[in-house]
Amino acid sequence: MGRMTEIAGKFFEACETGQGWETCKSLCTGDASFAAQASPLSDVKTLAQYADWMKIILQVFPDARYELGSFAIDEDRQSVVVYAVFHGTHTGHGGPVPPTGRRMSTDYVYVMRFEGDKIAHMTKIWNAELALKQIGWA
Q: What is the pLDDT of residue 15?
A: 97
Q: What is the pLDDT of residue 1?
A: 55
Domain boundaries, the chain: 3-134
> Which segments of the chain have a pLDDT < 70?
1
Q: What is the pLDDT of residue 121?
A: 98
Fold of 3-134: Nuclear Transport Factor 2; Chain: A, (3.10.450)
Q: What is the pLDDT of residue 85?
A: 98
Q: What is the pLDDT of residue 95?
A: 83
Secondary structure letter of residue 39 according to DSSP? G
pTM above 0.85, yes or no: yes
